[in-house]
Structure 1
Amino acid sequence: MDKMIAMLVLLILKPGSVSAGWSVTFENPNPCALKGSSVQLRCSYNYRDGETVKRTAWYKGELINGTWTRVALSDLPSYQNRFKYLGDQQHDCGLAIDDLQDNDTGHYYFRFDTQTLGRRSKESVYLSVTELSARVYPDRVRAGGTVTLECRTSCQLPNTVWFKDGHPVAKPVFQAQAEDSGNYSCAVEGQESVLSDSVALDFQYPPLNVSVEISYPGHLTEGSSVNLSCSSAANPAADNYTWYWASVSGSSSLLQVGSGQVLSLPSVEASHTGIYICQARNPLGQYRSTEVLLTAGDADINRVIIFVGIGVCIGLLLLLVIIWAWSQRCSSAVDKEENSHDYENIRIA
């Protein structure tokens, strides 16, 4: 009892003596890490010779009912299976936290207990959890325009890398071409598995590859219906379609005969025969399709054409039969001549 009283008196007289040789040092007191990634808090601790460390623990500062409280990570449900003590019971007190979330931002404290006293760090590690924010400027561009990619965070991070639709991007500044259209995201170099939200680059161009499709290809009879559809590749999409017609002879100029993506001819007449062209347009320009020929005529004429065609086919077939029969007859005559020989007996002296 006397020894205990003496020790208490010593503590009162020399309040700093107990802490002499006790310390906790943080390697980086203000780390910053990406949401979804992992972070390691490096620290070391010292204590008086002769002491033996019995227990170590990390705490997080929480404001509970208006009171600043240090709560052990093991007692916080949100940290279950996400933190790991990397240190030992000698001098290393490292801590790892995985799958970082926004609410992991805050102050972290370390404590170790020996067989005599416990020591909790007065200072703390303040961890900032941040997210990457990708930006493409401008987000709409035409061919040859300069595009700049920016990757932003709330704190300083190492070099960043870029991806377009999952494929690496060589440079963050480039001259845009059609193939550059897509979704871009950035990541910290070495942590490519943690990507920012993607942002789109909208490459704009006038109509290209304008083409016309006819719903009833071939020769049309009068009274039948047909639709001519126009399509093109454009960004933004073509918002204006104009149809032109010209005579087959080419002696007349182009005449505008309709508008809209589909030109409908509900009752075809002979006068509809001619060359059709579609012109597609968007705010960036316009482009015309190649010429498409549409022919229309009387149904009786069509039947005559069909009968004539059948007659020609039958005539050709008969001619082939006659030629074949003649060739067979000639071949038979030759064989007969070769097989009929006259022999004369000659006496040999």
Structure 2
Amino acid sequence: MIAVLVLLILRAGAVSTNTSVTFANPNPCALKGSSVVFRCSYNYTYRENVIQTTWYKGQLIDGIWKRVELSHLPTYQNRSEYLGDRQHDCSLAIHDVQDNDTGYYYFRFDTERVGWRSRNSVHLSVTALSARVYPDVVKAGENVTLDCRTSCLLHSTVWYKDGRPLAKPVEFRAQAKDSGNYSCGVKGPTVTLSDPVALDVQYLPLNTSVEVSIPGILTEGSSVNLTCSSDANPAADNYTWYQRTASPSSLLQVGSGRVLSLPSVEASHAGFYLCRASNTVGEDNSTEVLLTFDKTDVDRFILLVGIGIKVFFLLVISLVIIWAWRTRRCNSAVDEEENSHNYDYISPALMDEKNMVTQKEMSV
């Protein structure tokens, strides 16, 4: 009888000495929504067979700390997965980790002779990623910093913009195209993303352009609208219209507002137009557009102008010729009167005879 008791004591000592449960990481930290694996191994007395393995979660029930089987907790249905075997691997995976998964976990295995539960536990911490962009409102050309925060020590942080991987360092100089929603995540079999945060990059108007309501050649008296468009953040709130005058560098302001309306175009409206769009950041000029008229109207206008010019010059020339002719005629008459020396010659005898006849006529 004594020999039997000694043998049992020796066997119990062997069990207590050789039986153990070891956790590779007793304090794992997981991201909310991700999967976590508890790496676990166990040993037992040689030549024994394991007939059952069970994972528990510690819970405080009515003021008493109890170990509850995961299979008895509805929230773990279809989320807990035993990865081990009945040899030496007791690893466990929990998928789609939630905040209430935080806590202590225990493992137990049973052999044909004895049940053994771990003295130590695995304590799971659940955290969420917090993305930060600062400053979150910048002007193009200013610096931006991306910051991903969590209570766990995580590596290989990756960034996404509008749901797409971002090939950009965490510090960069903002451009207009960088506006959007940013999220951070951690590399792994699956990527769990933080809630998105917005970056607003403000910039002056870009790609300013003018659209003409009636493209092509215009006819005099028709109505035409010129519409100004631009890409800007904030949106352009001021539009000014200019017409280029004869001087290449001279611009004449002809209107304001996004639309320049010409209800009845005239020949004077022909020429180059441009729009200047501006917001609180800056301003930008559009490319110039040319308003031209129907060639028939232009030719008619040119013809009338040409005829008018010709008539004017003919009239002037005629007046000059008449004036010159009259001036010359007057000068010729004066010269002829002053320079004339042609007198009739009368002999003395004839002069006496003429006088005698005159006296006889008088006496009669």
* Same fold? TM cut 0.5: yes
Q: Which residue of 2 aligns with 1:346?
A: none
**For residues 237 and 61 of structure 2, what CA distance do their matches in structure 1 show?**
60
Q: CA-atom RMSD, angstroms?
A: 3.6
Instruction: Call closer, same or farther: CA 1:66–1:282 in 2, change over 3 Å.
Output: farther
CA contact (8 A) 1:226 1:265 kept: yes
TM norm structure 1: 0.70
Q: Which residue of 2 aligns with 1:202?
A: 200
For the residue of structure 1 that corresponds to 2:16, the secondary structure is coil
Aligned counterpart for 1:283 among listed residues 264, 280, 285: 280
Query: 1:128-147 residue pairs with structure 2 within 5 A?
Result: 128-147=125-144
CA contact (8 A) 1:268 1:296 kept: no
Q: Does 1:211 align with 2:209?
A: yes
Q: Which residue of 2 aligns with 1:85?
A: 82
Displacement of 1:301: 4.1
Displacement of 1:146: 2.4
**What letter corresponds to residue 100 of structure 1 in structure 2?**
V
**What letter corresponds to residue 278 of structure 1 in structure 2?**
C
**For residues 301 and 161 of structure 1, what CA distance do their matches in structure 2 show?**
66
**What letter corresponds to residue 34 of structure 2 in structure 1?**
S
Bigger Rg, structure 1 or 2: 2
Instruction: Call closer, same or farther: CA 1:146–1:252 in 2, change over 3 Å.
Output: closer
Higher helix share: 2
**For residues 249 and 160 of structure 2, what CA distance do their matches in structure 1 show?**
54
For the residue of structure 2 that corresponds to 1:149, the secondary structure is strand
CA contact (8 A) 2:219 2:297 kept: no
**What letter corresponds to residue 207 of structure 1 in structure 2?**
P
Q: Percent same amino acid among aligned pairs?
A: 65
Structure 1, gaps ≥5 residues long: 306-349
Q: Does 1:55 align with 2:33?
A: no
Q: Which residue of 2 aligns with 1:317?
A: none
For the residue of structure 2 that corresponds to 1:220, the secondary structure is coil
**For residues 232 and 204 of structure 1, what CA distance do their matches in structure 2 show?**
14
Superposed CA offset, 1:97-132 (max 9, x none): 223233322221112223344333343211122222
**For residues 299 and 64 of structure 2, what CA distance do their matches in structure 1 show?**
99
Displacement of 1:231: 0.9
**What letter corresponds to residue 228 of structure 2 in structure 1?**
C
For the residue of structure 2 that corresponds to 1:245, the secondary structure is strand
Displacement of 1:51: 5.3
Q: Which residue of 2 aligns with 1:20?
A: 16
CA contact (8 A) 1:221 1:302 kept: no
Displacement of 1:179: 4.7
Q: Does 1:240 align with 2:247?
A: no
Instruction: Call closer, same or farther: CA 1:180–1:192 in 2, change over 3 Å.
Output: farther
**What letter corresponds to residue 237 of structure 1 in structure 2?**
A
Instruction: Work out the number of aligned pairs and report it.
Output: 294
CA contact (8 A) 2:38 2:91 kept: yes
TM norm structure 2: 0.68
Instruction: Call closer, same or farther: CA 1:252–1:31 in 2, change over 3 Å.
Output: closer
Q: Which residue of 2 aligns with 1:115?
A: 112
